[in-house]
């Protein structure tokens, strides 16, 4: 069985919609930024993630920046 060891953090904005990556910038071996044509960052890819961080600490977090005090602004 083949198992992946990668972490992908998708960055997006619901109002603007999720944009698809059109390019990649390699920050370090196995750490890449997915970018748009206008150099926006839409995702972070970390290969061999379990060797670089404790994956048990990774969770989903969402924050509404337009109204941070609104009920349901953050979810875990």
- In a domain, residue 50? The reply is yes
Q: Which structural domain range is residue 64 located in? A: 6-75
pTM above 0.85, yes or no: no
**39 occurs within a structural domain:** yes
Q: What is the pLDDT of residue 24?
A: 94
Place 73 in a pLDDT band, splitting at 50, 70 and 90: very low
Q: What is the dihedral of CA 44, 35, 63, 49, to 10 degrees?
A: 0
Half-sphere exposure of 53 (CA within 13 A, CB side): 15
Confidence at residue 34, expressed as pLDDT on a 0 to 100 scale: 92
Our count of domains for the chain comes to 1
In a domain, 20, yes or no: yes
Q: Tell me the per-residue pLDDT of 15-70, one tens digit each, with 9 for 90 and over.
A: 556 677 889 999 999 999 999 888 888 889 999 888 888 777 776 665 556 655 55
pLDDT band at 75 (very low <50, low <70, confident <90, very high): very low
Nearest to 76 by CA among 54, 57, 52, 60: 60
Paired tokens of 36: 């748009």
Flag whether 1 is in a domain.
no
């Amino acid at each position: 069985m083949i198992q992946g060891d990668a972490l992908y953090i998708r960055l997006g904005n619901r109002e603007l919609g999720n944009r698809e990556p059109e390019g990649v910038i390699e920050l370090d071996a196995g750490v890449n930024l997915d970018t748009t044509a206008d150099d926006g960052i839409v995702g972070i890819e970390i290969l061999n993630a379990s060797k670089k961080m404790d994956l048990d600490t990774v969770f989903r977090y969402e924050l509404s920046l337009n109204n941070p005090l609104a009920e349901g602004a953050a979810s875990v």
